[in-house]
Structure 1
Amino acid sequence: MSVVGIDLGSQSTKIGVARNKGIDIITNETSNRQTPSLVGFGPKSRYLGENAKTQEISNLKNTISSLKRLVGRSLNDPEVAIEQEYITAPLIDINGQVGAEVTYRGEKQRYTAVQLLAMYLGKIRDTASKELKLPVSDVVLSCPPWFTDAQRRAMLDASQVANLKLLRLINDNTAIALGWGITKTDLPEGDAKPRRVMFVDIGYSDYTCSIVEFRKGELAVKSTVCDRHFGGRNFDKALVDHFGKEFKEKFKVDINTNAKAKLRVAAAVEKLKKILSANSAAPLNIESLMEDKDVRATLKREELEEFVKPLLDRVTVPLEQALAEAKLKVEDIDAIEMVGGCTRVPSIKDAIAKFYGKPLSFTLNQDEAIARGCAFACAILSPVFRVRDFAIHDIVNYPIEFVWEQSPDIPDEDTSLTVFNKGNVMPSTKILTFYRKQPFDLVARYAKPDQLPGKTNPWIGRFSVKGVKADANDDFMICKLKARLNLHGVLNVESGYYVEDVEVEEPVPEAKEGDKMETDQPNGDAEAQPKTRKVKKQQRKGELPLSAGTASLDEASVSSFAEAENQMYMEDKLVADTEDKKNELEAFIYEMRGAIDDKYSEYANEQEKEKIKEKLEKTEDWLYEDGEDASKAQYIAKMDEIKFSAGPVIQRYNDKLEEERQARLKVEEEAAAKKRAEAEAKKKAEEASKKAAEPAKTEDAEMKDAETTKPDSVEEPSAGK
């Protein structure tokens, strides 16, 4: 089982995986640590990730970006119109959801944003699986904290279509905080003052500021503020507009009339912007931009800051709002951690440092912090790894209320209730109580629609409660509904049940020592019996069936999308396999053409050589004419025909190699046997030499003993004689 965290970005995506030595960011097929968040469609197959980026300029009308910023939205959302400025494919309405119309395999096709995101997630899944050499299923996916319930449900649906089990949809800022805090061993404990860190994340398309409190083993998000249209692409757009005017005046070309030229300028200014982060000036040169004209220009950092001054004026606004919502001051913040590619811009760093009054912190990897946090979150939820206990307390970003029809039996009943307030801890569960005599419906919606992105419909879901009826005394049924805002930030009414008031006896709690009153007790009275009292308590009596209508796709739609995705996946695989066989055939033709007069030359007569060369020439002609769009089976058949013609020659060559190999083995074996025999003979000679030396040594020893030993027959004279 794999543990994978995915940072789904507007421009690119990073994949973090948990391994025994920690978290790694894996590379894709081109050895890049980030994969472009693009989906493209071609005449034969889809282009996903790196392939889509390669084909983007030549395939503008069929390439879609900003995938995560489209899901869960409708075409009439004004923020979708903003996204169309950055997306070259036309956006359309598909059953109330935004989608794209493209030309795929020669036909016009329409795909919803959920389908497009599912296609891209499938690519990310395969990239991770190839690196890990394991099937990938369990993942944690990041999303912006400003996502609504509908957008989060769309992310869940896309993951399901891509055959991924989404363990948690985690906010970007929360993932960053988790990656920062889980590795710290010096966090305060108990009642000590928590460590407060402000995380500033400015990426390609949005800006998030979040204040998080850390204690040992836990983090608590205190406030989160977002600017949804402040990021690297806004800087790029300001530069494109500037150079568009300059090129029109200086070189008489209007890039706004040529989508390809505009995209090339956008790519060039993105590089220029990065150069200006470390240099005071940078050149811009584009060859044959349009109308066969080369363009060139130079830009200074001061000029860039002037163009983006309206953006820079907004830098400190989220910082101020985050402090206000958390009811804190600048001096209460222990550190400001900077994350995101756009935080490399010197003017942004200077503005934030001036606001904070202290040096900024860059201890996290600015590009990969979210992916690492997602991988940690996945490891926590997965049984594969043992991870240090770390609790995550996120917050509700938009207040949610329930609305219902007034009961005819309760004329003064309130018909709405804000159940989850902004800043409440998430995940969270609330129990709602209703008194009813008949089935009823309730609607969940956002309490303050003006806080939502764009013109998002504040409606979240409608929930119908069945099985409600009056009791035998024509009295109300007490209905309890369990509303939960889960790990993903998605609201559901998970269950319903009814209760009844019943009388039960319970012991009366004893009075405290100081509250006892002196009373006369009869002498010899037995020990007082514990006092009890009757109280009314609610007991659960049965379940109430529920039906829900939400923004999530129904099972039939998910199955239909998944089936279509599987079919396209297999078509892509067939196209890739076919291309591999075509390339293999082409390479084999060139290899055989050189080998027939080289290494195979002495193994073929002239007639065989001519026959093989003729076959190679015919196959090559076919390959570049009729065989340009042949099937996989045809390429395999052509390869087999060449191998059949050249087979006898190749076999002779292989037989000769085998013969030489056998001869070489025989020589090596003989040499080894000779070496073993010599070693054995040497060993025997040494043993014989040792044995020959042993008797001589024994005889000498005996002679020496004989000289020193007296004969038994000689008697020593005694002293008394």
Structure 2
Amino acid sequence: MSVVGIDLGAQTTKIGVARNKGIDIITNEVSNRQTPSLVGFTRRSRHLGEAAKGGEISNLKNTVGSLKRLIGRSFNDPDVAIEQEYNTSTLVDVDGQAGVEVNYLGKKEKFTATQLVAAYLTKIKDITAKELRLPVSDVTVSVPAWFTDVQRRAMIDAGDIAGVNILRLINDTTATALGWGITKLDLPTAEEKPRRVMFVDIGYSDYTASIVEFRKGELNVKATAYDRHFGGRNFDKALTEHLAVEFKEKFKVDITTNPKAWARTLVAAEKLKKVLSANPQAPLNIESLMDDVDVRAMMKRDELEEMVKPLLDRLTVPIEQALSEAKLKAEDIDSIEMVGGCTRVPAIKDTLSKYFGKNLSFTLNQDEAIARGCAFSCATLSPVFRVRDFAVHDIVNYPIDFTWEQSPEIPDEDTSLTVFSRGNVMPSTKILTFYRKQPFDLEARYSKPETMPGKVNPWIGRFSVKNVQANAENDFMICKLKARLNLHGILNVESGYYVEDMEVEEPVEEEKKEGDAMDTDSKDEQPKKTRKVKKQVRKGDLPIASATGGFDQAIKEAWTERENSMYMEDKLVAETDEKKNELEASIYELRDKIDGVYSEFASDEEKDKLRAKLTDTEDWLYEDGEDTTKSIYVAKMDDIRFIAGPIIQRYKEKAEAERDAVRKAEEEAAAKKRAELEAKKQAEDAAKKAEEDSKPEGDAEMQDAPAEESADKQ
């Protein structure tokens, strides 16, 4: 069983696995430790991850990014319009959901963001399974702390469609905190003052600041604040817009009118930004950017910082908000841990260091910290790994209200209640009590829509409580409902039951008198004292019908079937390309060898026949055979093998005979050497024996002579 943590990023994804008594970040098919979070569509198949990135510039309209920022969104959400600025594909409405319209298999198709994330997760699953050589099922996936209930449900649905079981959706900074804390052996005990750490995560598209308190064996998130539109891509865009103006003035090319030129400049701008993080100035050169015009520029770090000054002015806002919610001051923070690629920007580091008045900490891997934390989280939930006990207490980021219709029999009844307040510990369970004579409904919604990301519908779900009726005395049924915010941060009314107030007898604990323990002679058992108390006794269950923001089971099953079908199509295309490449490689290899190593094993007639077959196959391959089926490529390969097979067999037989001859010669030489060594040893043994036999017999008596002489003298 595998333990896998997935940091699903807006730009790239990192995969952490538990093995070798630690966490490893695994590499993909091109040995990169991070895989582009892209899904591309072509007339033949889908391209996922690295393949999508490789073909992005030539397939802009059919390559989709911002996957996690689109999932769970309605198309009318203002944030979707923002994502369109960073996407070259066309975002559209798909049954109310944000989705994309692309050309796939030669026709226009629409896919929801949930389907796109599911497709991408199948790629991540394949990368992991190939590395581990094990099937992948259980995973932990990171999500932004600002994700709402509907976005979290959509992520779980995407996992189901992809065939992975998401054990936990964990907030990005919480995963980072877990990875940081679980390895620390010097955390304070429960009686001591907690260690307070602020985790600042500035990635490609968003910025989160969390204050976490650590004690031995546990972490408690005290506050989390964020800026959803502050990240590396904003720096890239500002730099690209500046370069667009400069190119228009200097080189008379307008990249805003050419999507490919804009995309290439954006890639170059990102590289330039990274170089400027380590150098005061850096050059930029792009060959044949547009209209066969080469462009170049020189940029200073100071100029870049001036361009992004409006962004830098927002830098301390989430930190101040987090400190305020946690009721702390900057000096109360023991350490500031920086993660996320954008925290390498010198201006960001300088601004935050001045704000806190202390050095920032970069002990964590800025790119891989979240993936490591996710893998630790998965390991703690897995039965096959032993991990140090470490409790994770996250918090509710959006307050949740329950509302219901007023009971006709209770005119002064309140009809709403904030059940989960902002800052409540998560996961969490609350018991709600209602007095009813008939079935009733209640709704859950976010109580402060203005704090929600974009324009998310604050409605979470509707829950209908069945089988409610008055009791025999025509009195209220006391209904208890268990509302739970689970590990994923998803709300459900998990169960319902009804109770009755009943008098029950319970034993009264008597105080033992001195000596009672020795009174064992009495055979008469004294009756135990009891008392009557009024208690609520559970009498039966109440069925609950739920309607939430998740997708219907029928829709999920249809999407799962479609995903499986597309996955098999992708696999067939990959195998077809493999056979095509094998055929092409064989043509060139045989053409070279027929006049080389195979020359002496074929007659002139066989050579001519094979050359003709190779030429015919090559001509077909680059004309009619450019795009055909796997079976035809296999058949063409078999035709070549039919002619080349006897020649190759003769070559192999001679090569095998030569190897046998060499092996036999080596064995004979070794046997000869062993015989020589044995003969030499025998000769040495014989010489030694002859030497011993040639010694005079009196030698032994002469050795004792002095002792005898001494005895005679005495």
TM range (shorter): over 0.9
Letter in 1 for 2:133: K
- Secondary structure of the residue that 1:681 maps to in structure 2? helix
After superposition, residues 521-536 of structure 1 pair within 5 angstroms as 532-536=530-534
Corresponding position of 2:611: 613
Letter in 2 for 1:286: I
After superposition, residues 305-344 of structure 1 pair within 5 angstroms as 305-344=305-344
**TM-score between both structures, scaled by the size of structure 2:** 0.94
Query: How far 1:294 moved relative to its partner?
Result: 2.2
Query: How far 1:554 moved relative to its partner?
Result: 2.3
The more displaced of 481-490 and 627-636 is 627-636
How far apart are the structure 2 equivalents of 1:7 and 1:651? 52
The answer to whether structure 1 residue 264 and structure 2 residue 264 are counterparts is yes
Corresponding position of 2:712: none
Q: Deviations over 1:654-688 (max 9, x none)?
A: 11112212222222222233233334434444555
Query: How far 1:296 moved relative to its partner?
Result: 2.2
How far apart are the structure 1 equivalents of 2:340 and 2:483? 35
Letter in 1 for 2:328: L
How far apart are the structure 2 equivalents of 1:184 and 1:709? 80
Letter in 1 for 2:184: K
Any unmatched runs of 5+ in structure 1? 514-526, 711-721
Corresponding position of 1:472: 472
Query: How far 1:434 moved relative to its partner?
Result: 0.9
Corresponding position of 1:395: 395
How far apart are the structure 2 equivalents of 1:433 and 1:460? 20
> Cα 1:678–1:157, aligned 2, differ >3 Å: closer, same or farther?
same
- Secondary structure of the residue that 1:264 maps to in structure 2? helix
Corresponding position of 1:522: none
How far apart are the structure 2 equivalents of 1:708 and 1:97? 117
Corresponding position of 1:164: 164
How far apart are the structure 2 equivalents of 1:281 and 1:652? 65
Corresponding position of 1:220: 220
Aligned residue pairs total 698
Corresponding position of 1:646: 644
Query: Percentage identity across aligned positions?
Result: 72
> Cα 1:691–1:249, aligned 2, differ >3 Å: closer, same or farther?
closer
> Cα 1:679–1:97, aligned 2, differ >3 Å: closer, same or farther?
same
Query: How far 1:694 moved relative to its partner?
Result: 5.9
How far apart are the structure 2 equivalents of 1:378 and 1:648? 56
Corresponding position of 2:594: 596
The more displaced of 544-553 and 416-425 is 544-553
After superposition, residues 41-60 of structure 1 pair within 5 angstroms as 41-60=41-60
Corresponding position of 2:500: 500
Corresponding position of 1:518: none
Letter in 1 for 2:642: F
The answer to whether structure 1 residue 578 and structure 2 residue 576 are counterparts is yes
Letter in 2 for 1:274: K
Q: Deviations over 1:570-601 (max 9, x none)?
A: 11111111111111111111111111111111
- Secondary structure of the residue that 1:393 maps to in structure 2? strand
Corresponding position of 1:716: none
- Secondary structure of the residue that 1:665 maps to in structure 2? helix
Letter in 1 for 2:534: K
Corresponding position of 2:429: 429
Query: How far 1:567 moved relative to its partner?
Result: 1.0
Q: Deviations over 1:202-248 (max 9, x none)?
A: 11111101100000111000000010001111111112222222222
The more displaced of 628-637 and 164-173 is 628-637
The more displaced of 294-303 and 266-275 is 294-303
The answer to whether structure 1 residue 39 and structure 2 residue 43 are counterparts is no
Larger radius of gyration: 1
Query: How far 1:124 moved relative to its partner?
Result: 0.8
Aligned CA-pair RMSD: 2.3
How far apart are the structure 2 equivalents of 1:251 and 1:620? 44
Letter in 2 for 1:556: A
How far apart are the structure 2 equivalents of 1:163 and 1:706? 95
The answer to whether structure 1 residue 145 and structure 2 residue 145 are counterparts is yes
Corresponding position of 2:126: 126
Q: Deviations over 1:455-514 (max 9, x none)?
A: 11001111111111111111111111111100000001111111111102335678999x
- Secondary structure of the residue that 2:152 maps to in structure 1? helix
After superposition, residues 72-221 of structure 1 pair within 5 angstroms as 72-221=72-221
Letter in 2 for 1:98: A
> Cα 1:706–1:131, aligned 2, differ >3 Å: closer, same or farther?
closer
How far apart are the structure 1 equivalents of 2:558 and 2:467? 33
> Cα 1:438–1:602, aligned 2, differ >3 Å: closer, same or farther?
same
Letter in 2 for 1:559: E
How far apart are the structure 1 equivalents of 2:632 and 2:698? 93
How far apart are the structure 1 equivalents of 2:528 and 2:680? 103
Query: How far 1:252 moved relative to its partner?
Result: 2.6
The more displaced of 378-387 and 698-707 is 698-707
How far apart are the structure 2 equivalents of 1:551 and 1:698? 111
> Cα 1:707–1:356, aligned 2, differ >3 Å: closer, same or farther?
closer
After superposition, residues 455-466 of structure 1 pair within 5 angstroms as 455-466=455-466
How far apart are the structure 1 equivalents of 2:20 and 2:667? 46
Any unmatched runs of 5+ in structure 2? 514-524, 709-714
Query: How far 1:342 moved relative to its partner?
Result: 0.9
> Cα 1:469–1:665, aligned 2, differ >3 Å: closer, same or farther?
same
How far apart are the structure 1 equivalents of 2:586 and 2:393? 60
How far apart are the structure 1 equivalents of 2:655 and 2:409? 98
How far apart are the structure 2 equivalents of 1:377 and 1:274? 31
> Cα 1:709–1:410, aligned 2, differ >3 Å: closer, same or farther?
closer
The answer to whether structure 1 residue 412 and structure 2 residue 422 are counterparts is no
Q: Deviations over 1:373-425 (max 9, x none)?
A: 11111111112221111100000000011111111111111111111000000
Letter in 2 for 1:572: D
> Cα 1:479–1:613, aligned 2, differ >3 Å: closer, same or farther?
same
How far apart are the structure 1 equivalents of 2:470 and 2:217? 49
Letter in 2 for 1:577: E
How far apart are the structure 2 equivalents of 1:222 and 1:59? 45
Query: How far 1:533 moved relative to its partner?
Result: 3.5
The more displaced of 274-283 and 359-368 is 274-283
- Secondary structure of the residue that 2:15 maps to in structure 1? strand
Corresponding position of 2:302: 302
Corresponding position of 1:719: none
Letter in 2 for 1:418: T
Letter in 2 for 1:314: R
Letter in 2 for 1:613: R
- Secondary structure of the residue that 2:168 maps to in structure 1? strand
- Secondary structure of the residue that 1:261 maps to in structure 2? helix
> Cα 1:315–1:512, aligned 2, differ >3 Å: closer, same or farther?
farther
Q: Deviations over 1:261-320 (max 9, x none)?
A: 111111111111111112222222222222222222222222212211111111111111
Letter in 2 for 1:455: K
Letter in 1 for 2:467: G
- Secondary structure of the residue that 2:287 maps to in structure 1? strand
Query: How far 1:75 moved relative to its partner?
Result: 0.4
After superposition, residues 283-298 of structure 1 pair within 5 angstroms as 283-298=283-298
> Cα 1:705–1:215, aligned 2, differ >3 Å: closer, same or farther?
closer
How far apart are the structure 2 equivalents of 1:637 and 1:254? 51
How far apart are the structure 2 equivalents of 1:647 and 1:252? 61
How far apart are the structure 2 equivalents of 1:33 and 1:647? 43
How far apart are the structure 1 equivalents of 2:64 and 2:367? 22
After superposition, residues 326-365 of structure 1 pair within 5 angstroms as 326-365=326-365
How far apart are the structure 2 equivalents of 1:436 and 1:697? 122
Of 629, 632, 644, the residue aligned with 1:631 is: 629
How far apart are the structure 2 equivalents of 1:351 and 1:512? 69
How far apart are the structure 1 equivalents of 2:253 and 2:155? 42
How far apart are the structure 1 equivalents of 2:704 and 2:482? 113
Q: Deviations over 1:325-384 (max 9, x none)?
A: 000011111011111111111111111111101111111111111111111111111122
